[in-house]
Structure 1
């Protein structure tokens, strides 16, 4: 099938608008020298020189690609960028340093960080353009979706690094007891809060854990913290450098939850107290709420300078040398721009030096000398779900609905041409997903899926039609398909439209409904998604959280529930060894794979564009958007 009836007209119109806008703006501003050659329309940006071919499957990790260059030949070949899977396996998320805990576990020791000598960049302020934030808040309670604008200012005990591995940050050592119910973190000494708010100590970690449980926190993890955390103990007192987190149940992946991939970043208690902040239970007073929104204080490589509502956030280097990393650029400004065409114009005219340009608009920037940067890991989990799959005793469950039948779900999976989606929307750079919450990098991976996926899920519309007939629907049936925007994937609507067409070709009548994310979310929470399908994106993280969100009946809005998932997830929550957890995660993955509980599509690398006259290198996973600003290497 082709995309001409759904995607190309929109792309053509956008291209005309963008080219006109770029030409208009460029007339009044200088721009970088153009690249030696411009990729032809429809071709992907050329990869970095001598980049090896991308592996067909995710089993063979490779070193991440940093950026791609414009083609040097008039007719460049289709690029084959390096795989975007980190060569370092783990995330350090299971147990203590990915090792099984014992009665007296050894601490995870990490070499002390050494502050680097400041570079001398060609400019002093790095300017970046990206889409609007979710909450337009500089307070970490904005949630994970806004982490890229929070992390320049804040740090956690554990760092979710440039390769999505959990490594030391403000805690150089940690350990757990034998059943993972007590975690001990030794804090790094001498770390200073911004603007003379003193040294980070145990009291600040305790204060942070109260902040993480605030009722006005926008991240669902806050409710989990309220259930999980019993108390924070400070063995050496509030000014000491040791904290113990005492939990209500075992939690072997505590280093993930205490990392910068969540919002568990350390705030200053002295700053909060001195400015009238008060917590009553999990309720923050108005003074505290306004304080964190207007004057956030952290320990990061940049400190807060200015926030223009819905326009930009500006940061500057602290007055003292940072303990971990002095950024090459003394200042940072992140612009919030809704229109991709405006971001493109800002980039090519030099107003900004990096921007999150959609893949179908990148050729315009390439022609002006900009280059594409790929994330170091697959940042985006692109999946689909079948609504109405509640627990059998739920009054909303209706066993007569087609998508509650495994054979129908198999047919709908086989109707989808995953290779075409990858080629058209991602230039062949996405990684085929075997199962919704599983990846070779994570616990519970089943290598046999690599050998069986094509036979079990491969594109075969004729077989899909036969399976619908076998399931009792020879003439097909009617469904609703919701589509809503997702950060980091501007192509979401077009991909969803293509999937709707795949289903129409096997006889399913699809009522395609573009909606706002809030509409979808309210329907999901109210369990009003019977006979409804949709595509969704999540982040590239350890599978436990994805299983909870997508499949556990006790979650706020699970997508596919079953007694099997309920039993196994509850066993996972109390599992005390890494082997047991690995087996349980694999069992749940195999079950989902066998009953077609979801629509696994792709792990998608994050892409953004930079001006190579300003930026030499930028390594970032791109989870939730462009981030890791302190590691940007400046052209000197």
Structure 2
């Protein structure tokens, strides 16, 4: 059995290598403190702030250090020793000091966002609305916004059975719901999880993968809830229930039973540091610090207000005028905000943009017989494509500083298989690119470059044009197709006309990329066009799919992505970023890395 409390997300698999059990002492969680993030459209002019001082230096959220990334950097505990002792105790990661608990909440913090998703307070109805319900309702687990460590939330302990099919949560005792609805217990947790999984209105993206494993939820006693996956193992189940990975909020069963789902959709009762006050649909929300001393964190602001402001330029103007303290902006507003003397926090890692040289499509060539005339099948040609790209220029010019160059695709520090060493992209080297094109016989090659709409990234066409220009600068002949819609793309696939083409794509980050690896890199998959047909990947994907060991699966996925990235099967370009514009009343703040909306607002400090 694998147990956890305060465990670094990326290290959890490595730290338990070879163990039968990992037991970690559990303590109450605490609040973060510090720096930084957010994102969405492009940038018109905004009047500048008075010229009184130099523009503040922009803060950029840093990815966690690579301490836990490479598996070989950690010495595994011998399996025999673990079996002999029955359990192995690991040192818990130090919990950050909480915000000043002696300072009672005061003042009003106002946040401006571009929309509120479904505007529902039922956590399973949408995704991005969790930026407001997480203030009122809490999750079983928390994810540290800076270190990416899992920490106790409403669950003080959690465990995964050795067969990967059963997750057990032991809950904090004595945590009270707002409004006099009593103590949070396993009955509430089981009800919340069951609704998240099986309510017919659930639109949460994590649910589909969970349902494939046929979960059954039950309360074992007052403070213990268990989820059994009856069909197949679900090794990342506990991660899906954390605050940083689409976790679901815990509701009061008594409250929802009393008022009904329709009423609970419009007014929330939870255990969080803020209580619901008012919600005007399409306009605003207001929350108030919970009465007394909250069991986990005392917020520094008494009142928390949200505004819906669709136009990014208006949101920036709100910060400049002082009517808003924090505004979520597209990353492309970074320079404009700084020119107006506004403090900004850039949060990279919202999504990965990458290039796909399509090598193989099921049904067009044999698994062991790729088309010898397809230049995309040559790793040295793919390397030339990568070396010809000036990623820093793309980040600076196309995204106006609102993106970061990357050497990674759809993995984040919380993902299985993540290795921080992959964050470093290929260096820009057009001369070497020309040399490789000559050596591979592809100098002057003509090919089609397709830009599909990059969801949430309006700069897609400009990015594709810039990349095409860089390729043409090394002698390639690029036929650029912009905004190729999904229907047109599917038509080309059915006609077997995608092989040999090159795409520009975007993917969000996943905790477990098993299904994506199988659908996009496995030669025998017939559902989709493959990025490549590689015998090594073909041998790895069945092992990844069958693995019931978290450590083993982490290492297998790392091996698979090592092949994908080393051979440039896909060519990472940039990680898009979110941006926060921050007013002068705001002090320290540590929003979660890689999020595209405002988070951790209970940890926002006062400037003085």
Q: Same fold (TM over 0.5)?
A: yes
Task: Name the SS of the counterpart of 1:140 in structure 2.
Answer: coil
Match of 1:84 in 2: 62
Match of 1:308 in 2: 280
Q: C-alpha distance in 1, partners of 2:401/2:512?
A: 25
Match of 1:380 in 2: 350
CA RMSD across the alignment: 4.3
Match of 2:390 in 1: 417
Match of 2:132 in 1: 149
1:559-578 deviation per Cα after TM superposition (whole angstroms, max 9, x unaligned): 74657656534422443445
The Cα of 1:511 is off from its aligned counterpart by 3.5
Q: C-alpha distance in 2, partners of 1:327/1:269?
A: 26
The Cα of 1:226 is off from its aligned counterpart by 1.0
1:419-462 deviation per Cα after TM superposition (whole angstroms, max 9, x unaligned): 322444678796653332456786545688689x64xx754277
The answer on 1:299 being equivalent to 2:267 is: no
The answer on 1:588 being equivalent to 2:560 is: yes
The Cα of 1:621 is off from its aligned counterpart by 2.5
- Number of corresponding residues: 541
Deviates more, 1:180-189 or 1:549-558: 549-558
The answer on 1:619 being equivalent to 2:600 is: no
The Cα of 1:494 is off from its aligned counterpart by 3.9
The Cα of 1:628 is off from its aligned counterpart by 0.6
Match of 2:224 among 234, 237, 242: 242
Alignment of 1:92-111 (within 5 A): none
Match of 1:37 among 41, 54, 57: 54
The Cα of 1:229 is off from its aligned counterpart by 4.3
Q: C-alpha distance in 2, partners of 1:522/1:258?
A: 37
Task: Name the SS of the counterpart of 1:590 in structure 2.
Answer: helix
Q: C-alpha distance in 1, partners of 2:78/2:307?
A: 44
Q: C-alpha distance in 2, partners of 1:550/1:153?
A: 39
Q: C-alpha distance in 1, partners of 2:138/2:490?
A: 33
The answer on 1:495 being equivalent to 2:463 is: yes
Alignment of 1:277-426 (within 5 A): 288=261, 290-366=262-338, 369-375=341-347, 378-386=348-356, 392-393=362-363, 405-407=377-379, 408-424=381-397
TM-score (norm 1): 0.72
Q: C-alpha distance in 1, partners of 2:312/2:318?
A: 10
The Cα of 1:154 is off from its aligned counterpart by 2.1
Q: C-alpha distance in 1, partners of 2:374/2:282?
A: 44
Alignment of 1:528-567 (within 5 A): 530=498, 531=501, 533-539=503-509, 547=517, 560=531, 562=533, 565=537
Match of 2:478 among 495, 504, 509: 509
Q: C-alpha distance in 1, partners of 2:504/2:405?
A: 19
The answer on 1:254 being equivalent to 2:237 is: yes
Residue pair 1:409, 1:597 contacting (<8 A) in 2 also = yes
Residue pair 2:411, 2:511 contacting (<8 A) in 1 also = no
Match of 2:215 among 230, 234, 241: 230
Match of 1:46 in 2: 57
Deviates more, 1:254-263 or 1:461-470: 461-470
Match of 1:18 in 2: 45
Match of 1:27 in 2: none
Match of 1:477 among 447, 465, 469: 447
1:452-497 deviation per Cα after TM superposition (whole angstroms, max 9, x unaligned): x64xx754277358639946684412232123342xx665554344
1:188-228 deviation per Cα after TM superposition (whole angstroms, max 9, x unaligned): 01112232322211122222222222343323311111122
Are the structure 2 counterparts of residues 555 and 312 from structure 1 closer, same or farther at C-alpha, using a change threshold of 3 Å? farther
The Cα of 1:611 is off from its aligned counterpart by 1.0
Are the structure 2 counterparts of residues 595 and 291 from structure 1 closer, same or farther at C-alpha, using a change threshold of 3 Å? farther
Are the structure 2 counterparts of residues 111 and 119 from structure 1 closer, same or farther at C-alpha, using a change threshold of 3 Å? same
Q: C-alpha distance in 2, partners of 1:294/1:602?
A: 39
Alignment of 1:267-278 (within 5 A): 267-276=251-260
Are the structure 2 counterparts of residues 174 and 120 from structure 1 closer, same or farther at C-alpha, using a change threshold of 3 Å? closer
Match of 2:32 in 1: none
Residue pair 2:388, 2:470 contacting (<8 A) in 1 also = yes
Are the structure 2 counterparts of residues 624 and 150 from structure 1 closer, same or farther at C-alpha, using a change threshold of 3 Å? farther
The Cα of 1:367 is off from its aligned counterpart by 5.3
Q: C-alpha distance in 1, partners of 2:259/2:447?
A: 61
Q: C-alpha distance in 2, partners of 1:100/1:193?
A: 44
Match of 1:263 in 2: 247
Q: C-alpha distance in 2, partners of 1:173/1:522?
A: 49
Residue pair 1:202, 1:234 contacting (<8 A) in 2 also = yes
The answer on 1:197 being equivalent to 2:165 is: no
Match of 2:29 in 1: none
Q: C-alpha distance in 2, partners of 1:340/1:297?
A: 31
Q: Which residues of structure 1 form unaligned runs of 5+? A: 1-13, 24-30, 39-44, 48-66, 68-80, 92-97, 277-287
Task: Name the SS of the counterpart of 1:477 in structure 2.
Answer: strand
1:13-62 deviation per Cα after TM superposition (whole angstroms, max 9, x unaligned): x87x524xx37xxxxxxx7x644135xxxxxx635xxxxxxxxxxxxxxx
The Cα of 1:405 is off from its aligned counterpart by 2.8
Q: C-alpha distance in 1, partners of 2:360/2:190?
A: 38
Q: C-alpha distance in 2, partners of 1:100/1:305?
A: 54
Residue pair 1:268, 1:297 contacting (<8 A) in 2 also = yes
Residue pair 1:166, 1:255 contacting (<8 A) in 2 also = no
The answer on 1:467 being equivalent to 2:467 is: no
